Amino acid sequence: MQTWTYDLTVPTGPAQNLTNLLRRTWLIPKSVYHYLRVGQRMLLNGRYQSVNTLAQPGDHVRLIFHPDDFRTPAPQFLPGNPRRLKILYENPDLIVLDKPAGQKTHANQPWEDDCLLNDLMAYYAGTPTLPYIVHRLDKATSGAIVVAKNPVMLPLLSRTIKMKQTARHYLAWIHGQLPTAQGWLTTPIGRDPTDKRKRMANGVNALPANTFYQVQRQTAHTSLVALTLTTGRTHQIRVHLAAAGHPILGDPLYDPAYHDESRLLLHAHTLKISVPFYPNTLGIICPPSQPFWQPNTI
């Protein structure tokens, strides 16, 4: 049986008991923490101790995870073409990729083999590593995307996003010029009752959504804006900008001026990730491809 072992050092700061260390500092999910405790697979300085034991800064903690600790099934996707992958960063627990515009993040049908996860399945073929999607990018969107390399890291990275410990920054070319150089777009987003592919500002079952924008460049008819998400609704940036009267150029769903040969000019430019088990924040920059900047695309 495959296992995953992590040898960790208690970070600086006040002493804390093992429960708080694992649940609050290292973001171990409650169910996984339960299995570690019952199986006595959480060792402090070489031996199992009560979960109320105080761990001091610099102490050694070993965590041993089993596949049965996790509810996430192993990915079952056909292998694709690993030569298409553009790797921005990789360590033993995660990989960050530059997803091209036009490629889906993962397959929806068992016969599909041209999605990002298919290519990663081929990349890791012959090894015990499997790719687990942490977050998604729309098919038409390009840029940085994080993939976990084991089921241990998947829930931890997902929780960093939920707790806003991961910052995602985008670039987009939009129609027209926004009224201010920077500001917030805060209209709730729900489903479009007339088109199941789309979302709508103040749509059905709308949820809060917050997007911060900063204008970077302007032409006579377009603007380049940097955008930061503090929520993660489906199509959030696309819906917010379209609702403001400034849809993203080349958006097949929300740009009235869309034509078949244009691409969506939305790019995931920067990721800042606070990775559990790692002491430092990980910062990744993904420069847009040249066509994103060429004047004839805007």
Q: What is the three-class DSSP state of 24?
A: helix
Catalytic annotation, residues: 138
What is the edge-to-edge ordering of all strands in the sheet holding 47-48?
4-9, 60-65, 42-44, 47-48
45 secondary structure, DSSP code: T
| Interatomic CA distance for residues 69 and 78, integer angstroms | 25
Amino acid in the structure at residue 115? C
| Interatomic CA distance for residues 95 and 102, integer angstroms | 20
Place of tokens 């993939």: 147
- Kindly provide the residue ranges of all beta strands, DSSP E only, lying in the chain, ordered along the sequence: 4-9, 16-17, 42-44, 47-48, 54-55, 60-65, 87-90, 94-99, 132-133, 142-148, 166-175, 182-185, 189-191, 199-201, 204-207, 211-218, 222-229, 266-273, 282-285
Quote the tokens at residue 41. Answer: 């697979």
CB 70 within 8 A of CB 32: yes
